[in-house]
Amino acid sequence: MSTHTRPVEILRFNTCGSVDDGKSTLIGRLLYDSKNLMEDQLEALQRSADLTGGGQVNLANITDGLRAEREQGITIDVAYRYFATPRRRFIVADTPGHVQYTRNMVTGASTANLSVVLVDARQGVTEQTRRHACIAALLGIPHIVFAVNKMDLVEWSERRFLAIRAEIEAFLPKLDAFRDVKFIPISALHGDNVVDPSPRTPWYEGPTLLRHLETVHIASDWNLTALRFPVQWVNRPHRPTDSALHDFRGFSGQLAGGIVRTGQWVLVLPSGWKTTVREIWTPEGIEAEAFCPQSVTLVLEHDLDISRGDMIVSPDQLPGMSQEIQGRVCWMHPKPLIAGRKFLLKHTTQTVQAVVTSLESRLDIATFEAEPGPSELGLNDIGEVRLRTSRPLIYDGYGFNRMTGSFILIEPGTNATVAAGMLRSPSEPARLEYTDFAI
């Protein structure tokens, strides 16, 4: 007997909203109404309701896990939640909505397929709504949902809902980012249109939030067009006694883009060597092909000197390769970024030294305007910077591939992660000194 018959996909989404928009209540509601809350969790909720909530069960207490959060009634850090329906598994990043917590939103959004932006029906579109939409756009999230919450407090007014929708639709073209956009009128507190359709919104014909999460098409969210294989770990068994493994040399890593097939020609960067793929070891055994985001080990036809940080790519779709790069960073540290500072830059499987050569602009994420030539970027600022690296990066634009177009900056000494970066498309494909076949 098997509990399911068809394959179940994972959808990752994040929720964002201002402090009192009801994010945690919404997640609590999704878990509660989809029967993903357990009795002991409910009991614990009841206990804390008796202690602190004057007897009122607070669904937000399900997600606010740290003591300081429960005491202050706020969400401090990204919390991950898991729930399942027969159609899909869900990983939810509950990201705090305070202005100063942009870095948490970037964290939660970086791995999401979809963003749920909460809008308070009474307040309408606020600066925060625009910030959340802007960050979702910057992080290349393909799908976005505007959940217009607290509809119960505006008498379920269709006019109110449509006015909010129109205001959002007016600014979305400026972001030019999302593959699909949904607007859903809900009450997280009472559960309307969260899991079950609401009898109070007869004018709304779209899906409930959960229905949409279960059905939105995510199969094409990964880049399957251009092979990108950053070498993560060189697999050499060092077993002199085992003749089958004596000469084994494989290159392990996670496919960051495209599909790899045995027999296909590949190019190794930065060296420029060409060879073919002899074997593909996947978690499920040796296969004829593998695809992004699988973790595999490639055995190549020729014995080449390849190490961590090199990238195996398809010869007909080359990434960029340069020591001079440009991109957007979200600054995540209290000590501001100024031009001239040096960092460690981690990109795919390579960590290099990098100096920020100039700050080009700072983005006002509420107006979407870029202010040129800032003197510094402060905590939670997003800005355009130029960097020079100690070794060439082999990369794509973030808009083309989230995995080969992203990087982090690490402060030497403290080892703090100080920035999340998204690269501009390279101005030209990698130029190779020689493109000889191997041997």
Partner 1 sequence: MKGTYQLDHLQYLENEAIHVLREVAAEFERPCILFSGGKDSICLLRLAEKAFRPSPIPMPLLNVDTGHHFPELNEFRDRRARELGARLIVRKVEDAIARGIAVPAPGEVSRNRLQIPTLLAAIEEFRFDACVGGARRDEEKSRAKERFFSFRDAFGQWDPRNQRPEVWNLYNTRVNPGEHMRVFPLSNWTELDVWEYIRKEKLEVPRIYFSHRRLCVRRQGQWLAVNEFLPPQPGEEVRELRVRVRTIGDIISTGMIESPADSLDDIIAEVAAARVTERGARADDRTGDAAMEDRKRLGYF
- Judge contact between 63 and 42, C-beta under 8 A: no
The interaxial angle of helices 102-110 and 127-138, nearest 10 deg, is: 40
* Sole binder of partner 1 in the list 23, 29, 81, 132 (CB under 8 A): 81
Interaction between residue 233 and partner 1 (CB under 8 A): yes
CA-to-CA separations, 328 to 324, 361, 386, 388, in angstroms, rounded: 14, 9, 9, 14
* Sole binder of partner 1 in the list 166, 169, 246, 283 (CB under 8 A): 283
* Sole binder of partner 1 in the list 38, 99, 166, 170 (CB under 8 A): 38
Interaction between residue 8 and partner 1 (CB under 8 A): yes
Q: Which of these ranges, 175-183, 310-318, 370-378, 400-408, lies near partner 1 under the rule CB under 8 A?
A: 400-408
Nearer to partner 1 (CB atom), residue 148 or residue 418: 418
Length of the chain: 439
* Sole binder of partner 1 in the list 19, 153, 304, 416 (CB under 8 A): 416
The first and second tokens of residue 5, run together, are 């018959």
Interaction between residue 425 and partner 1 (CB under 8 A): no
Interaction between residue 241 and partner 1 (CB under 8 A): no
For 103-167, give the DSSP string.
Answer: HHHHHHHHT-SEEEEEEETTT-S-HHHHHHHHHHHHTT-SEEEEEEE-GGGGTT-HHHHHHHHHH
List phi, psi (to 5°) of 350.
Answer: -115, 135
Q: Which of these ranges, 35-43, 113-121, 165-173, 310-318, lies near partner 1 under the rule CB under 8 A?
A: 35-43
Q: Which of these ranges, 124-132, 205-213, 243-251, 362-370, lies near partner 1 under the rule CB under 8 A?
A: 243-251
Interaction between residue 91 and partner 1 (CB under 8 A): yes
Q: Say how far apart CA 160 and CA 122 lie, in whole Å.
A: 8
**Which residues in the 254-273 window bind partner 1 by CB under 8 A?**
254, 259
Minimum CB–partner distance for residue 51 and partner 1 (Å)? 9
* Sole binder of partner 1 in the list 202, 237, 340, 429 (CB under 8 A): 237
Nearer to partner 1 (CB atom), residue 355 or residue 416: 416
Interaction between residue 347 and partner 1 (CB under 8 A): yes
* Sole binder of partner 1 in the list 9, 127, 303, 371 (CB under 8 A): 9
List phi, psi (to 5°) of 45.
Answer: -60, -45
294: helix, strand or coil: coil
* Sole binder of partner 1 in the list 115, 201, 275, 349 (CB under 8 A): 349
Nearer to partner 1 (CB atom), residue 181 or residue 410: 410
CA-to-CA separations, 198 to 36, 213, 323, 325, 384, in angstroms, rounded: 20, 17, 55, 50, 44
Minimum CB–partner distance for residue 109 and partner 1 (Å)? 9
* Sole binder of partner 1 in the list 147, 329, 356, 403 (CB under 8 A): 403
Minimum CB–partner distance for residue 8 and partner 1 (Å)? 5
Minimum CB–partner distance for residue 37 and partner 1 (Å)? 9
Q: Say how far apart CA 225 and CA 430 lie, in whole Å.
A: 17
The first and second tokens of residue 31, run together, are 């878990």
**Which residues in the 163-182 window bind partner 1 by CB under 8 A?**
none
Q: Is the peptide bond prior to 202 cis by the omega test (within 30 degrees of 0)?
A: no
Instruction: State how far Cα 165 lies from the chain centre.
Output: 25
Q: Which of these ranges, 161-169, 268-276, 386-394, 407-415, lies near partner 1 under the rule CB under 8 A?
A: 407-415
Q: Decide the pairing of beta strands 295-300 and 250-254.
A: antiparallel
* Sole binder of partner 1 in the list 157, 294, 357, 361 (CB under 8 A): 294
Nearer to partner 1 (CB atom), residue 175 or residue 259: 259
Instruction: State how far Cα 223 lies from the chain centre.
Output: 14
Q: Which of these ranges, 113-121, 158-166, 194-202, 244-252, lies near partner 1 under the rule CB under 8 A?
A: 244-252
251: helix, strand or coil: strand
Q: Decide the pairing of beta strands 228-230 and 233-235.
A: unpaired
Minimum CB–partner distance for residue 363 and partner 1 (Å)? 17
